[in-house]
Structure 1
Amino acid sequence: MASRDETTEDFSSKMADIVMGGYVCLALALGNRAGLWDIMCTFDEPKTSKEIADAAGLKPKFVKEWLGAVVAPGIVDLDSSGEKFFLPMHRRNALTEGTPGATNYTEYACGLPVLMKDFDQMPTAMKVGGKGITGLSWDDECPGWAWYQHLSVDFMQSHMVNGVVPTNKGLREQLEKGISVLEVGCDVGTATNVIAENFPNSNVIGIDINDEALKKARADAQLKKLKNVCYDIQDIYNLPSEWSDKFDHVYTIDTIHGLRPRGSLKGIFRSLKPNGTLNLIELKGNAKMVDNKDLVNAPYLYMSNLIMNMEDHDHGHGDEDDHSHDQHDHSHDKPDQSHDHGHEEKKSKDNECEHTESSDIRDDYGQDSELRPCGDGPGWWWGKDNIFKAVKEAGFKSAEEHKIPGSYTHVVYVCTK
């Protein structure tokens, strides 16, 4: 509810800030794609717009206009002469990739033009009977795929070792000494290879159902000459019996919300050694909108979910009821994957029985969510209460929610068998 003291002028000022911030967001994104932020970070003293343009190989008149858009909100400084520009050192980590523990916000800004490419189709898609939007393609040449990959790589490289690992008491020391590690839903292996590269004494396995993604993961591991990592196609609902009590540590990133939590978490539980740990990394959020009002990432996540669900996956059936369960939310899942691990054919009779046992549709978790479900699971905002419930029912003796330093989108649930 609005504050009793809020005036029309107060709200107008607020709206002005929001709308102008949208244009700043476009400037952040353009600077990212044009390489201007990287160029600005090479300077140790103020430069003219022409010097910046020349260094970037861009047209000076366009660079000068761009600089005006990032000087006004206080991102780039303009000196007293009005001719030279400088990006202070303390701002650079938030505008470029590769700094441990830092978030590259310009990459999130790039989501605005990527997600809004079908903007003119969206009003029609929202109408009853309206046709869905063309949507994003997730092949290697698509801007949507490139954007997703940049977000994933930036998060995993920046936060896995220096953000996620320290939330587990003693885990860094164990990894340095050497333990067995499993990533569930590893996709192209970015996080798996990061862990393997930083902790060469530990043995790391990444599993997924997407063979093409695993080929890329293996190629990246080979390029980095990693000897302590391997990849395998596995169904989390039906892991090999010899994998029981096999791993010291398991982690999964943005995966369980697209699976049946009960079946997938029980599979992980069985794979862990006694007192082994699971890092369940999920988006920060709650099942009910009323509990998300103060989350800084809420507008980004709600709009991403809205736009992805407008996509015309069924040749024009863009008006399914809100409770429809056949729509797949791509906004935070691995592209080119349905996450439908439970529908893989298995020859083992024992595995077939195990699959049947855990085949409850969405396991009841997240049914109170006000958003669409995701793939086989409850959706990316199924809520921490449901997560704690699912973890407990899977058999874990404890679970704690931890913030990930530098990340405003994700949290990690540290669970102990």
Structure 2
Amino acid sequence: MKPAAAPALVDSGAAWDAAAAEIAASPALAIDIEGDGFHRYPERVALIQVGLTDGTVHLLDPLALGDLSAVGAALADPAVPKVLHSAAYDVRCLDRDFGFAVRGLFDTAIAAQFCGSRRTGLMNVLAEILDIAVDKPKQLQRMDWSIRPLPPTALAYAVADVAHLLALRAALVERLTGFGRLGWVAEECRRLEQVRYTPPDPPEVAFMALRGARDLSDAGRAILRELFLWRDATAQRVGRPPHHVLSNDTLLLLADNPDAPLHRLRGVDRRVLERHRDRLAEAIRRGVAAAPVPWPRRGGVNPWTPEARERLARLKAWRNAEAEALDLDPGVVWPAPHLEQVALQPGQPSAALDGGEPPWVRAWQWEALGPSLAGFRVEALRDAAA
């Protein structure tokens, strides 16, 4: 295998044509993306890294390249393995920005988890599985990937994210085969292929999810709603993330203290405040004049009786014991939402209680652990009847 090519941004037609041909011909691909969400709003994919089986790494500039359909075709081909690390974010962003779906996906973070790894960041997994040390400076982890030109240190960082993924996959497949868990990981990765981007709630609704909104008065929540709407619109206008315009803490402070002097505020972009002070003040006035916003009240009876909580504790103890035996994280062994339903409805069959879409419990879990859960439930019912 030849060493990775010197990092260079593919941002023109001629370079892209050559890269696209190489990508289409590679038997497997390592994929990563970098977004600009720490610095821009709304977020965009600002860089796509593609590693080839011969060691070449192409750094694609989606902000400059118009037609990336060759990448989409390669990603959609299930016969070509695509290796990503902690792929959920990448899969969502590729769908959001380009409508691309990923097939033939292999997530090295998931695979490492099923090999018993507890620290599944890329640097940790490379060190544990391949004994490779990769230097990833922290200051580059939150950089603005939309700036051009990208500094050489950033290009090298981007290359390092994919340079070893194909070798890592090979080593993990060997370990998983030895554990008899390769099929488990394959099922997890197929589920991950189905992930799609879901737009966030509109600001008219999303303000209620802000930590601290529940603690405000009804009048304060009305002000918070107007401030939240102002912040989102301003963030869209200036192209900066909302928390850079006005921090959440400052939103809550103003909602609770609408007469607070704006010039003394902390957690606000001073340039934005200077340009948009009047609109911010108007948002506060609209909130003060608006109808109060009550906190939604939950109706019905709380199903979590002491007996149900005891059943859940025992089910989690069962899961913990199975996890220890398999040397896996308990969250990997069995999904918590299903255990909760089993605890709440002890008389119902376990399979009938899976209300997830897709189902919470995987096929490999039913096969490997379903009989153990059934035996545990029978024993628990016997103990309850004694």
Tell me which protein shows more helix as a share of its residues. Answer: 2
Which TM-score bucket, shorter chain as reference? under 0.3
Which one has the largest radius of gyration? 2
Tell me which protein shows more strand as a share of its residues. Answer: 1
- TM-score, normalising length from structure 1? 0.23
- TM-score, normalising length from structure 2? 0.25
